[in-house]
Amino acid sequence: MPQEIKVSTTDSIPGERRTATESRVAWSESVTTVRHAYDSLIKWARDNNYDAIVGFRLVTEPYGEGSGLTDMQYTAYGTCIAY
């Protein structure tokens, strides 16, 4: 399940005569695949009526018990905007 932080902007959309009406920085974590984190964030944005994701970033981090960081966690970050 993606997590989110509401942000505010009045930026116009490049090449468009519209302005962003709402934006949120959102992220989704997965321990299965990078694709799952990516797809989960996109699905969340669509389900919550956002029109685009900008500033998209994928991060891979090792995790695990003790000193044996053998598993990977994948996080997708982006700013979701509605206009």
For residue 55, count other CB atoms closer than 10 A to its CB: 10
Scanning the chain, the segments in alpha helix (DSSP H) are 34-47
* Structural contact between residues 38 and 59, judged by C-beta atoms closer than 8 angstroms: no
pLDDT of residue 46: 93
pLDDT of residue 49: 93
pLDDT of residue 47: 94
Model confidence pLDDT, tens digit, residues 34-76: 889 889 999 999 999 998 888 888 888 887 776 666 788 888 9
Domains of the chain plus CATH, in order, are 3-82 (3.30.110.70)
Burial code (b: 16+ CB inside 10 Å, e: under 16) for 70-79 equals: eeeebbbbbb
Token couple for 71:
């598993």
